[in-house]
Amino acid sequence: MNIKAALLALLAYAIFSTHDVVVKILGADVSPVQLVFFSSLLSFPLLVLMLVKDATPGHLRPVHPWWMAARSATMAVIPASAFFAFSELPLAETYALLFATPLLITLLSIPILGERVGLPRLAAVVVGFIGVMVVLRPGATSFGLGHAAALFASFCAAFQSVVLRKISADERRVVLMIYPMLMTFAVMGLALPLVYVPLEGVTFGGIAIVALFGFCATLLTVSAYTIGEAAIVAPMQYSQIIWATIFSVVLFNEKVDLMTLVGAAIIIASGIFIVLREAFGGRSDNTPVLRTRTRGYTAGGTNVSLMLKRRSEEKPAE
């Protein structure tokens, strides 16, 4: 089953990569704010169908309002930040910086979750950040807004993931999904008049593809985690760097920088080490990276961990 799970995950991340290519193409003419607003809007009916099936008794008032507000605020800005980075930077470079998320999750889990991070994982974090520096090459290349946006998206994705780990046991699944969704609509909706441009049919079709691909890839990811071990499925996300290299050359005529690939390899190796250490090291109380199943920078608010939680709740008792 692990082989099937790995193949499903590879397919999911191939679709996610295609999703990002469409975002990059649309980003040449449309603001990330507008892309996120309308792709989230198109995803909304699909999410509502999921939410109305939540029969868990309770209300919509969060148990942890401040943590919920902080998580919702960060989730509202992650897709726009990532979309901006995709429009400004080569695909491989954007992915390399977004892949720093597991490193940041490891660090943030210390103050937020009380996670005890031993020397091996701390060393992996340090090595991973060296990889980030290799990608950025301070002094050798200019640091632009695209780089800042990718790093900001990576930090926010890590923060929301750790907060979700902290509060998910106490909050209803519908609450964990609906507040970030509403916050995204509110923030993007307020900013939309400042950047709005009329959408042609082809452009709107592209946004629909972004919404559809994001949702379908998420469902495939859920299926992969349902039948396979997280330690097998999680590293499959790094296959996106392969697609980024192919798409960069074939579609965008971008030269894939060798040092970017070297830095990405260092970051990926660090991330995989952390996943395996959490899975088999036996020293992690919270396994925060291993339990992060959602690609945090996809518009629409669909969360793999919460969908998995729903599936587990629907399974009949044995």
pLDDT tens digit at each of 318 positions of the chain: 678 899 999 999 999 999 999 999 999 889 999 999 998 888 777 667 766 666 666 667 888 899 999 999 999 999 999 999 999 999 989 999 999 999 999 999 999 998 888 899 999 999 999 999 999 887 667 888 999 999 999 999 999 989 988 988 888 777 888 888 889 889 999 999 999 999 888 999 999 999 889 888 888 888 888 888 888 888 899 999 999 999 998 998 888 888 889 999 999 999 999 988 888 876 777 777 777 777 778 776 556 555 555 555 554 433
Cα Rg, the chain, nearest whole Å: 19
- Total domains in the chain come to 1
Amino acid at 26: L
In-domain check, residue 107 = yes
Residues 19/246, Cβ–Cβ less than 8 Å: no
- Which amino acid, 102? P
285 domain-assigned = yes
**302 within domain boundaries:** yes
Q: Is residue 277 part of a domain?
A: yes
Cβ neighbours of residue 82 under 8 Å, at least 6 residues apart? Answer: 94, 98, 149, 150, 153, 297
Residue 318 belongs to a domain: no
Residue 280 is part of which domain span?
Answer: 2-313
In a domain? residue 168: yes
Residue 201 lies in a domain: yes
